[in-house]
Amino acid sequence: MARRRMRPCLVCNTLTRNASRCDTHQQQWQQQQDRVRGSAHQRGYTQAWRTTAAHAVAQHREQWGDWCPGFKVAGHPSTDLTADHIVPKAAGGTDDPANIQVLCRGCNSRKHAQST
């Protein structure tokens, strides 16, 4: 497994292996995000969703292996696969398996960034 390089926290400049903030400031940032938009559970991402999402990823891996079909990029290998709503919950999408696709975390983020 590749080691992450050390980066300075955006708040205090302490070196961390996290993407942008040290553990303390990441927790504070997440709490602020939860206050603004609600926690994942409040937005409908319950245990039932986590079970459905895990099942979708397992089925995808069984059929396609560690392969992301891509979003605005060509399909590519990836071990960091996630379940994604085709029609977002915020736009009325459901947790029905027909409304779930599997993307890598990067493609999932790219899709989310495009819709905001």
Dump pLDDT digits (tens) for 42-97.
887 889 899 999 999 999 999 999 999 999 999 999 999 999 999 988 889 999 99
**Contact between 82 and 60 (Cβ < 8 Å):** no
Is 56 a domain residue?
yes
pLDDT, residue 27, reads: 93
Confidence of residue 34 (pLDDT cuts 50, 70, 90): confident
- Structural domain including 96 reads 47-115
In this structure, the answer to whether residues 21 and 57 fall within a common structural domain is: no
Task: Tell me: do 86 and 111 sit in the same domain.
Answer: yes
Q: Residue 86 CB: number of other CB atoms within 10 A?
A: 11
Question: What is the predicted pLDDT for the residue at 35?
Answer: 87
Inside any domain, residue 16: yes
Residue 42 maps to a domain: no
Total-model pTM: 0.67
